[in-house]
Structure formats: C-alpha cells, structure tokens
Structure 1
Amino acid sequence: MKHILICGAKGVGKSTLIRRLCMDANAPIYGYCTKMLSTADADGLFPIYIHPARQTEAERTYGSANLIGLCDICIRDVYTNVFNTLGAEYITAAKPGGYIIMDELGFMEKDAEKFKRAVFNALDGNIPIIAAVKARYDVDFLNRIRAHEKAQLYTITPENRDALYAEILGIITR
C-alpha cells in the first residue's frame, strides 16, 4: 500500500476525513494532529498546538510544551523546537501494524530539520501513513512530500469528500 496524502483547500475537510478514517482503521494510531484554538490570546494571536493523533479531544492538553506557533492572519511565531522534539517523537514512536497520522504537514515546520528527517524516514519506511498536506506549492518541503515515490496523492473537495472517504477506507481495511 502506498502512503496516503490528502491535499485540498483550507477548510475543505482534510482533518475531518482523517479523523473518520482513524475511527474505522481497526489498527493502532500513531503520529500527530495539530489544532488551532478558536479563541485568541491577550495579544490577539491564535495558538496552534500539536497532540498525539490517538488522543481524543477530551484527553488533549494545551500548554507551552506542545505549542507549535501563534498566528493571526499570518503566522507570527513558530516553535521549531516543539516540532523537533514532540513532533518527531510522535512520528518515530510508530510500530508496525498501525498507521502514522500527520495532520497536517505545512510550511510552519519548514525549518525543523529533525522533524523533517522523521517525516522523510517515515515516508521511506513501511508503516502506512495517512497525512494531510497543505496546498502550498511554494514550499520545497511540501513539494518533496507530494512527489515521494511511496506516496499517493488524493485531492479532497466538498463534492468528493464522501466518495474519497469510501475509497480510502476500502484501501486501509483490505
């Protein structure tokens, strides 16, 4: 099975699709997911956090240890050390028989070298990956991921998201 990369416009349902697939995968879930809070901090910035992909919303914690960045209409601060520690750890902890979730791969981590090595080592490996890839084509890191020989790119749209769920579910439950 090729690794599954899901690409699409912001807000089209990449993360929702991945959550649905994880619930139906019948296998251990490794990797990470990110979440931007909908409430701004005192400076008007929205914090973005990284969590183990297997955690439910109720199990997640929000603090400086897993804060990956702050944004308003653009990214203001990126904490590459968190990508290089927690992010890389969530990927490299994967065991055979499970899935590595990367939700999402974007431009914030473009300078996090240890994290990027973990991503490419996983792509070169045999543990299946399901990843959301930001639709940015001006970032070499993302272009290299989309072009990886062991990966298949799927484009999600509002019109095809239910059919895409069924197609990918068929692949991962074979």
Structure 2
Amino acid sequence: MENLFLTGEVNIGKTTVLNAIKKKLNISENMIGGFLTKAFLEHNRVRGFYIDPINYNLKMPEFKKRIIGYTHDYINWTGVTDTFENFGVEILNYCLKSPFELIIMDELGFFESKAYIFQRKVHEIIESRKKVLGIIKPQRTIFMNSIKNRRDVIVIEITKENRDCVSTIIQDLELGWEGIKDDIR
C-alpha cells in the first residue's frame, strides 16, 4: 500500500489539503491515529511546537514533555530530541498496536534529525499495512530524504496553483495514491 506525504512552503495550505484528503477517504474518525504538530504562542508570536496525538487513549504526559521544538530569540530553533524518542515513539507504538486504518503524521521536519529511534519507528509505520497520510517539510535532511526516496511513498508538493484543486481531484482513492499524484501535476 502506498503512503502519501504532502510537502510545500510554510502556510501554503498543506494541513488544509491533508484534512480534505482525509475526509475523502471516508475512514471513521475512531480508525485514525497518529499525531499533529501544533504551535504554542507567547506574546502573540510562535514560541515553539508540540506534538498532539490523535485518538490516543493512554496517559498524556505533561505539556513540557510534548514540546518538540522552541526558540528563545525567534530566530534560532532547537529541537527536543527526548520528546520524539519518548512520547513520539510511544504514539507510534500505540498506532502500530491499534486497529487504526490511517496514520496521520502532520508533520515531519528537522526537529527530529537526531531522534533515531523515532525515525526508525516512522519507517516501521510506513512499512506496515496501515495507510499513512502525512506532511513533510521541503528541506533536505537525511531523515526526510530517507522518507522521500522510499518506493512505497508518494510525495506531492502543494503549491498556490494546485492547493485549491487537490481535494477535488481526489475522487476515487480506490485507484491508489499513484493516480492522485499524476492528476495533481
């Protein structure tokens, strides 16, 4: 089964497209697992990001242990490897053990560049029988390239030109992700 990742510049509409695709899949909400990356603000500015699991029924760690990246000066960013290696891996293990049909990974980026256990677990999810729908940053890192270069992964770049039509192009997902990729280009 193919796995679909969206990529594109910041604020281009990747999550909006992901949600439209998810809706078209007609998979019950309780059969979807994974995680979302959300921003937290300080003085109306993004101070950092945290991981928010989907349909996760285990004990949620304190907020501090969910932070995946932050900035002190709003210029330089620091990834929190421990969060990926602990809570991130826990979420992905939960997804593997659960009967979820779809795993959302919104989004993978450079914060997890040194989170090697988490990276291996992402690949394990991709190799599983579960369908993966995710977002991946357009930057090149060893980890992101390892996902983009997989034969069982399709990466579609979301642009201003295609973002409004992507979800309408996806009419028959039974044809598989490959047909979607051709239609979007």
Q: Do the two structures share a fold, i.e. TM-score over 0.5?
A: yes
Say what the alpha-carbon RMSD is for the aligned residues.
2.7
Asked whether the 8 Å contact 2:50–2:68 carries over to 1, the reply is yes
Structure 1 equivalent of residue 22 of structure 2: 22
Separation (CA, whole Å) in 1 of partners of 2:43 and 2:121: 31
TM-score (norm 1): 0.82
By how many angstroms is 1:173 displaced? 9.5
Q: How does 1:41-80 map to 2 (within 5 A)?
A: 46-54=47-55, 63-71=63-71, 72-75=74-77, 77-80=78-81
Q: Judging changes above 3 Å, is the alpha-carbon distance between structure 1 residues 50 and 97 closer, same or farther for their aligned structure 2 residues?
A: closer
Gapped regions of structure 1 (runs ≥ 5): none
Structure 2 equivalent of residue 124 of structure 1: 127
Structure 1 equivalent of residue 180 of structure 2: none
User: Residues 11-39 of structure 1, C-alpha deviation per residue, up to 9 Å, x if partnerless?
Assistant: 11112222333344323111111111243
TM-score (norm 2): 0.78
Structure 1 equivalent of residue 86 of structure 2: 85
Percent identity, aligned pairs only? Answer: 27
Q: Judging changes above 3 Å, is the alpha-carbon distance between structure 1 residues 87 and 166 closer, same or farther for their aligned structure 2 residues?
A: farther
By how many angstroms is 1:163 displaced? 2.0
* Structure 1 range deviating more: 32-41 or 100-109: 32-41
Larger Rg computed on CA atoms: 2
Is 1:171 equivalent to 2:173 in the alignment? yes
Partner SS for 1:33: strand
Structure 2 equivalent of residue 157 of structure 1: 159
By how many angstroms is 1:119 displaced? 0.5
Separation (CA, whole Å) in 1 of partners of 2:22 and 2:99: 16
Equivalent residue letter for 2:113 = K
